[in-house]
A and B are shown apart, each in its own frame.
Chain A
Amino acid sequence: MHKQTILVIEDEKNIGNYIETTVTTQGYKVLRGMNGTAGLSMCMSHHPDLVLLDLGLPDLDGMEVLKKIREVSQVPVIIVSARTQEREKVTGLDAGADDYITKPFGAEELLARIRTALRHGALADAEVEAVSVYKRDGLLIDFDKRLVQLHGEDIHLTQIEYKLVSILAKNAGKVLTYDYLLKEIWGPFADTDNQILRVNMANIRRKIEVNPAEPHYIYTEIGVGYRMKE
């Protein structure tokens, strides 16, 4: 089978080595770009299946690299960022990155993100729409019938709540930003205040989670958005 290629744009040699070792053991092929310019040209010439992009590069701003990639390609991009750059994560996601991972990250977390991004990348938008059910640990969402069941029992969600859950479920494993969700559900002229979103999320949690403080299905990434269990 054809090995999937991952382009790692990262200037720190040790982190690059760590990612390469972790990813190669799982059967992926790795390309390394040591700075933004090199990374960009490799992305153009080698057409990798996924890009891991560090935001702090010596020559170009990581955000610039992301925009340049997006001008020509829809390849899945995972941003690698440091914990302090919350704003950057959101801007990155809204600028077309598929996901982000925060330094320091463990090998398992990294691989899980890569798998998710590759799967979503493989499906075109139309195919995402065609997915008809989400089923995890007793939670069932049937997108055709607009039906939500928890351990076989019907859960009654409002229109907005259902929209919110179904968008998250269709993108399971991927973090969706507040802005994205607001625009998807309330339209492009929605208020930028995310309170309404969080109130709805609280209501959903009261319907599907055993303890809203220990969510099992929908995770919070404060300051960024929500992520549904894969």
Chain B
Amino acid sequence: MDRKTIMMNILRTVLIMVIATVAALCFFELSKNATNVAIIYILAVMLVARSTTGYVPGIIASLIGVGCVNYVFTYPFMKLNFTMDGYPITFVGMMVISTMTSALMTSLIQKNAILNEREKMLMDAEKETMRANLLRAVSHDLRTPLTSIIGLAETYLAGKEQLTEAEKSDMVTNIREDANWLLHMVENLLSVTRIRVGATKLTTTLEPLEEVVSEALQRFRKRLPETKVQVRIPDEFLMVPMDAVLIEQVIVNLLENAVYHSQSEEPIQLLAQVQGNHVVLQVRDLGKGIDPERLPFIFDGAGTDCNESSDSHKGMGIGLSICKTIIAAHNGTIDAVNQDQGVAFIFTLPLENEEGNHA
């Protein structure tokens, strides 16, 4: 225990005992009854044990309590005398009761601290496993495009003379596609590192929704300029607390997910509206929808590569699981819902910072 806590302990003990004595004096003046005075002191001892660390302050407080009762409130007044008839039992009783409550209180506090610690360790471990799973899955998905990039580049260099111009330009186009895919992966990974382990809360700032949406769209169009997106956001000016880089990542992931998985050429819709104290954003496609059996696990980051072998863009599951991580860190919700045609990914963000939510 350092000096500061010791000083704090002493200060608190003294303060509480002084208050108790004043209260007891008032009480005593009013009722002339010394029994209740003892109870006030026992209460004070409990409070001391609660607000200090270790057993010592509680025990000292109970000694002070017994001393005060004897000295001030019992005959002979302003004298210490433990020997009068019945007194020894009263004081020993008071001593025992206050010491025990103090001890009980202290051990309760300690147990609580241990429990909290264990819970935190469990949560950290869970986050750690999530992270490790993600890394494993991602490093697998990174190898695939890397293999094709390296392979194509080597073939190009080795066969420069034999290859036709069309073949060469095909190869370079493939390299560009795979490199873009890699970039997308790396950006997703980077966003995970922004959510630090141990930090209970993200650092959010108020951002205008329209600016975040427009920047996300800009990033998306840079990669997939051909895709049509219809955007509708509320006309009112809306500031939403968030980490803008992360929310942009969510929007981009959902849009790209719609492009690759809907198997539809219809425009994608990006809608935002306010519902109560949340803003609700939706990314809708008019594609084939999602197998209802897979729907509950769609954000788990797994399952994409087991039965959908025809899918050339694996790893989108990781994109979705990252979306979930990001939205959860914002205290929002994210769901995938099949529509009459296609699927809607819906996420919500609270409009107000819920202070003390994690206290």
Contact = CB atoms under 8 A, between A and B. Distances in A.
Partners in one complex: yes
Given A213-B231, A214-B217, A222-B245, A195 B206 contact: yes
Contacts of B231: 211, 213-214
A18 to B, nearest CB: 12
B210 A213 contact: yes
A212 interface: yes
Interface in A16-42: none
B183 interface: yes
A62 B167 CA distance: 41
Interface string B198-220: 00000000111011111101100
A121 interface: no
Contacts of B210: 202, 205, 212-213
A14 interface: no
B244 A222 contact: yes
B190 A202 contact: no
A198 B208 contact: yes
Interface string B248-283: 100000000000000000000010100000000000
Contacts of B235: 206
Nearest to B209: A213
Contacts of B206: 195
Contact of A213 (B190, B217, B222): B217
B233 interface: yes
B187 interface: yes
B214 A202 contact: no
Contacts, number: 53
Nearest to B270: A213
Interface string B148-175: 0000000000000000000000000000
A221 B218 CA distance: 10
A219 interface: yes
Nearest to B193: A84
Nearest to B194: A84
A94 to B, nearest CB: 19
B214 A215 contact: yes
Interface centre among B208, B218, B233, B239 (most CB of A within 10 A): B208
B88 to A, nearest CB: 70
Contact of B207 (A106, A205, A215, A222): A222
B214 A84 contact: no
Contacts of B237: 199, 202-203
Given A104-B183, A198-B211, A223 B233 contact: no
Interface string A189-217: 00000010011011101100001111100
A3 interface: no
Contacts of A222: 207, 211-212, 215, 244-245, 248
Nearest to A193: B206
A198 B340 CA distance: 39
Contacts of A211: 231
Interface residues of A, number: 23
A211 B210 CA distance: 9
A83 interface: yes
Nearest to A215: B214
7 contacts: A202-B237, A205-B210, A206-B235, A213-B231, A213-B272, A220-B211, A222-B245
The size bracket of the interface on B is 20 to 34
B214 A220 contact: yes
B218 A219 contact: yes
A84 B190 CA distance: 8
Nearest to B244: A222
B125 to A, nearest CB: 27
A106 B270 CA distance: 27
Contacts of A215: 214
Contacts of A83: 187, 190
B83 to A, nearest CB: 72
B214 A214 contact: yes
Interface in B88-130: none
A223 B203 CA distance: 13
A61 to B, nearest CB: 22
A213 B215 contact: no
A155 B208 CA distance: 23
A221 B233 contact: no
A85 to B, nearest CB: 11
B241 to A, nearest CB: 12
B215 A221 contact: yes
A106, A213, A223: residue with the most chain B Cβ atoms closer than 10 Å: A213
A213 B214 contact: yes
A213 B220 CA distance: 13
B213 A213 contact: yes
In order of increasing CB-CB distance, the 10 nearest A-B pairs are A220-B211, A202-B237, A212-B210, A213-B213, A222-B244, A213-B231, A213-B233, A213-B210, A198-B208, A213-B214
Nearest to A104: B183
A109 B245 CA distance: 21
B215 A220 contact: yes
Interface string A85-120: 010000000000000000010100000000000000
A140 B63 CA distance: 86
Contacts of A205: 210
B247 to A, nearest CB: 10
A223 B214 contact: no
